[in-house]
A = this chain, B = another copy of it.
Amino acid sequence: MLNRNDPIPLYEQLKSIIEDDIKNGKLRYNDQIPSERELCQQFNVSRITVRQAISLAEKEGLVQRLHGVGTFVAKPKIQQELTTINNFKSTLEKQGLLASTQYHDSKVISSDFQLSRLLHIDVMDKVLNLQLVGLGDDSPIVFYNSYFEYNIGMKIKESADLAIEKNIPFSTLDLYENVELAPTHVEQTFESVAANEHVSDILHVETGFPLLRITSIVFQDTLPLEYKESYYRGDKYRFFITRKW
């Protein structure tokens, strides 16, 4: 029930009730949620409050509005286990999504100071920049921006070309087994960032939209094979981990 004495605004309380119903299983994927009018009556609140609640629920990826039809419970977020290296296709398939991968861009650039340090190469050495978009059910979910030392990059690109030609979904991590490279580990940082113009275009979200940025360096022993910045849509993706005491 809504609590009018609570400092939490009514629309957030109403959003939490909808969220709980989804988590409880009272509302399931693809169920239609009650109409604005029904919610106004049931909770004795204004239409503005109901609209704000639904708009917030939509932002959080809980529901999806189909104009002229109604509002429906959205697919739950994609979950990826953190402690093992996962395959992009199988992670999405577990959530019932059809995965696919597209090129956004692929180009040879000169290494700047930062890339040189990250990839253990000289400044001005050739670097392959591979920009990929990972999609689930044809919606962009993740933008991968990878940098490789040129010779390594060309092998990876060849493997990527083949996967795209054959319509096999992948992330760069899935390609190493196809080339004569054997990564041993990956160092990653996780942070929450606001989408800039460039990435918001690619992921079909507004500037400022919350994204999970994962910065990775893939190593074969002490040799860095790849430096990658991945941007996941915050409303579509989450990671999970079990940590021991």
Contacts and interface: CB of A to CB of B under 8 A. Distances in A.
Interface string A171-193: 00000000000111111111111
Nearest to A243: B186
A67 interface: no
B82 A242 contact: no
B189 A240 contact: yes
A36 interface: no
Contact of A210 (B113, B211, B241): B211
Contacts of A193: 60, 192, 210, 234
Interface stretch (A4-12, A37-45, A91-99, A133-141): A4-12
Interface stretch (A27-35, A161-169, A194-202): A194-202
Copies in the complex: 2
A59 interface: yes
Q: Chain A: interface secondary structure?
A: mixed
A241 B82 contact: yes
Interface of A: 7-9, 12, 20, 23-24, 56, 59-60, 77, 79, 82-85, 112-114, 182-194, 196-198, 208-212, 232, 234, 237-245
Given A82-B190, A83-B83, A192-B193, 6 more contacts: A24-B113, A186-B245, A187-B242, A188-B241, A191-B212, A194-B210
